[in-house]
Amino acid sequence: MTDPSRSSPEADLAFLRSIVQGGDNPKATLTLGVAYLAGGLLYGLQCLFHLGQVWGLIRWPDLANLAFVVAITGAFFVVLTWAVREDRKAGTAGPIVTRTLNAAFSAGGMANLAIIIVFGVGARRDEDFAVWLYYPAMIFALQSAIWYVAWTLKKKPWMLATSAGGWATAVILGLLVRDPVIYLYVCTAALFLLFAAPGGIMTRDALRKRAVGTDAD
C-alpha cells in the first residue's frame, strides 16, 4: 500500500514551484491591495481637500472641515475592517513567500499604530504641529522597508520602485516639516503614486488570478 504521509515527486515539484513563483492566495492579495488602494485614494483626496483650502477654493466652516476629515478616516477604517475580515476568511496562504510577505505587511501595520501614538502625543504635548508632520515621513520610511522585503521575495520591478520612492519621500517630507504647503504637495503625490498605484496593481493581479482559478474550476 502507498504511504499517504509521503508526498509524490510531482507534489514536491509543485510545492517548490509555488515557493519560487510566489503563488499568492488571490483572495488575501486582493484584500491587501484594496486596503492600499483605498488608503491612497482616500488620504490623497484629503490632501487635495487641504490644497483646495490653501488655494482658497474651499472655505467651509470649521465643523464641516472636521466632519470631512473624520469621514475620510472612518471610510478607511471601514475598508480596512472589511480587508481584515476577508483575509481571515481566506485562511493562511500556503506558499512560504506569501506567508512571509503577509507577515511583513501585518507587522508594518502594528508599527504604524505605535508611530501614530508617539508623534500624536508628542505634537500635543509640545504644542508643535511640525512634530506631527514627522509621522507621515516615518510611515513612508517603514513602507519603503516593507516594499523592499516584497521586492526581495517577488523580484517585481514595481515593488523596488515603490520602495525607492517611499525612501525618497520619507527624506523629503522630513526636511519639509517647516514648509507645510510644499510638504502637502509631496505628500499628495506620494499617496497616489506609492499607495494607491501599488494597491491598484495588487488588486488587478489578484482579480486576474481569481478569474483564472474560477475558469480552471
Q: What are the structural domain ranges in the chain?
A: 23-216
DSSP 3-state of 4: coil
Alpha-carbon span 105 to 56, nearest angstrom? 38
Whose CA is closest to 94, among 42, 40, 21? 21
User: Which grid cell is 209?
Assistant: 488570478
Alpha-carbon span 180 to 191, nearest angstrom? 16
Mean pLDDT of 134-153: 89
Alpha-carbon span 22 to 13, nearest angstrom? 14
CA distances from 152 to 94, 97, 119, 159 (A): 19, 10, 30, 9
User: Which grid cell is 139?
Assistant: 510611515
What pLDDT is stored for residue 80 in this prediction?
79
pLDDT band at 20, cuts 50/70/90? Answer: very low
Lowest mean pLDDT segment, chosen from 4-18, 32-46, 178-192, 200-214: 4-18
pLDDT band at 10, cuts 50/70/90? Answer: low
Tell me which range, 43-47, 91-95, 143-147, is most confidently predicted by mean pLDDT.
43-47
84 pLDDT exceeds 90? no
Q: 90: which residues sit within 8 A by CB, 6+ positions away? A: 25, 27, 28, 31
CA dihedral 160, 166, 172, 174 (to 10 degrees): -140
Alpha-carbon span 84 to 82, nearest angstrom? 6
143 pLDDT exceeds 80? yes
Q: What percent of the chain has pLDDT over 70?
A: 71
What pLDDT is stored for residue 149 in this prediction?
85
DSSP state of 6: S
User: Which grid cell is 170?
Assistant: 520619507
DSSP 3-state of 58: coil
Whose CA is closest to 191, among 3, 70, 50, 25? 50
